[in-house]
Amino acid sequence: MKRFYLIGFLLLMGFDTLAQISFKYAGTQALPVAASLEWVLRVFSQPWVYGAVIGYVGAFFTWMALLKHAPIGPAFAASHLEVVSVMLLSIWLFDEQLNTARVLGAIAIIAGIVCLGMAESREHVPEAEPAPAEA
Amino acid sequence: MMSVAGSISPLVAGLWLLNIVLDTGGQLAFKAAAGDEGAGDGLARWKHMASRPWLWLGVASYVIEFLVWIAFLSLIPLSEGVLLGSINIVAIMVAGRFLFGEKLTRLRVAGILLVTLGVVIVGVGG
């Protein structure tokens, strides 16, 4: 069962990461930004935007499947920790640099997400316990 | 790409704010659609939801948000964009607190403050 969760969380992160990478490629190829139909058509005329759609839809169904079985706290945290994978990949794919502000900001954000995940876990703890008095 | 540290243009800031409004608004609309008492079960529930505006408001918000997020990310580095986007987690929790009376425990407040702090650091320092 542990392995099921782990694969689920990794899949969720994978889909979310795919979506963000695709968003970036789609946006870059549709530049310049304009509040116009031409811009929207440019966005939808190249394949990356569909990678974003696949990422979103995949993440949605993975999330729904996970929530049926997995504890909500770790699931919540996993669903937002794609910031880490996206940051690391953007160094490699887009030649971005991690400056001090981004690294410090990321550490604070991740710590915050972990706190929020722990808060969710605490509130939903009783559900996980089977009622021993029955039968 | 072209972004220098700390140079968030008015357009980028506007898209960022619009993304928060649409994301939070969309989630709240879905919450209102799903939490409707007396909506029934199964197909009847879906029919009930489809005949009222909340579900469609949520879908419309998400469609527009999709485009706004693409525009936003095309103007700043992705590593900066995903970090700034984390503020949506905070916005939805604060909105849930005010509109649905959801509890903000000490751990949640700590989480909200840390995420906000992180976003501020990235926003100011690039």
Domain boundaries, chain B: 10-125
Domain regions of chain A by residue span: 2-126
Instruction: Report the pLDDT value the prediction gives residue B8, as an integer from 0 to 100.
Output: 81
C-beta atoms of B82 and A82 within 8 A:
yes
Q: Are B76 and B3 in contact (CB under 8 A)?
A: yes
Tell me which of A102, A121, A123 to substitute to probe the interface with B (most B C-beta atoms closer than 10 Å).
Answer: A102
Q: Does B13 touch chain A (CB under 8 A)?
A: no
| Helix axes A2-29 and B78-85, enclosed angle (nearest 10) | 120
Instruction: Report the pLDDT value the prediction gives residue B91, as an integer from 0 to 100.
Output: 92
| pLDDT interval class at A23 (50, 70, 90) | very high
Q: Are A51 and A18 in contact (CB under 8 A)?
A: yes
C-beta atoms of B71 and A100 within 8 A:
no
Tell me which of B74, B108, B109 to substitute to probe the interface with A (most A C-beta atoms closer than 10 Å).
Answer: B74
Of B5, B78, B107, which is closest to A24 when you measure between CB atoms?
A: B78
Lowest mean pLDDT among A46-55, B10-19, B50-59: B50-59
Q: What are phi and psi of A24, to 5 degrees?
A: -65, -45
Shortest Cα distance from A128 to chain B (angstroms)?
Answer: 20
The b/e string for B88-123 (b: 16+ C-beta within 10 A; e otherwise) is: bbbbbbebbeeeeeeeeeebbebbbebbbbbbebbb
pLDDT tens string B33-62: 877 776 677 788 888 888 888 889 999 999
Is the bond preceding residue B10 a cis peptide, omega within 30 degrees?
no
Instruction: Report the pLDDT value the prediction gives residue A122, as an integer from 0 to 100.
Output: 78
pLDDT tens string A67-114: 777 777 777 787 788 899 999 999 999 999 889 999 999 999 999 999
Lowest mean pLDDT among A119-133, B21-35, B56-70, B71-85: A119-133
Measured CA to CA in angstroms, residue B78 lies from A9, A20, A54, A100 at distances of 22, 8, 19, 16
State which residue of chain A sits closest to B124, comparing Cα positions. A101
Rounded Cα distance between A52 and A60, Å, is 12
Q: Which residue has the higher pLDDT, A67 or A49?
A: A49
Rounded Cα distance between B11 and A16, Å, is 25
State which residue of chain B sits closest to A25, comparing Cα positions. B74
Q: What is the mean pLDDT of residues B60-86?
A: 94
Tell me which of B2, B78, B102 to substitute to probe the interface with A (most A C-beta atoms closer than 10 Å).
Answer: B78
Instruction: Report the pLDDT value the prediction gives residue B64, as an integer from 0 to 100.
Output: 95
State which residue of chain B sits closest to A37, comparing Cα positions. B67
Q: What is the ipTM of this complex?
A: 0.84
